[in-house]
Amino acid sequence: MSMENDNNVNENSVEDIVSRYRPQLEKIVPYLRWLKDNASNQDISHSYSSSDLKSMPFPVYDSNLLAFVKACQSTDLLDRNYVYVYSRNHLNSPKDEISFIQDAQISNIDDLAGILSKYILTGMTKGTVWGEGVRNGVLYMVVEKMDELVRFWGHEDTKPLA
């Protein structure tokens, strides 16, 4: 992850984690309501193909989903080494991811970013992954948990940003 400590706090202390993650999360937290409202929604992405065209079908996405993905890409949260998060934590299915997210603490926030990374980065080459992440609730849960942890440990009002 390219987020760097500004040397005012101890590296990987709670204060350091909160100060690094808060500005990044502010870019994606506005999509929490949409992610929650669209869990289990089958219409957020579908394949477009025409019988008139002799071409391969391609995915068509909800504009809010694309805006969320673009917002994630504009953060420093994405880590191409997310596969290590999955192997280290024995995450093999959305059920494993959800269980890990529910039990995560502030010390696990880099691993939560790894789960987000998997969905966003894999979705760039495999069209169905973004929609799956919304439908199975993992994208909502991981962003919500990260926001909750940063707000709690940052001693902010417990009211969510979204």
Q: pLDDT digit string (tens) for 79-105?
A: 999 999 999 999 999 999 999 999 999
Handedness of CA 24, 25, 27, 28 (dihedral sign): positive
Mean pLDDT over the full length of the chain: 86
Q: pLDDT digit string (tens) for 16-58?
A: 999 999 999 999 999 999 999 988 766 565 555 555 555 666 6
* Domain boundaries, given as residue ranges, for the chain: 14-153
Task: Write b or e for each residue in 1-29: b if 16 or more Cβ atoms lie within 10 A of its Cβ, otherwise e.
Answer: eebeeeeeeeeeebebbbbbbbebbebbb
What spatial distance separates the first Cα and last Cα of the chain, rounded to whole Å? 25
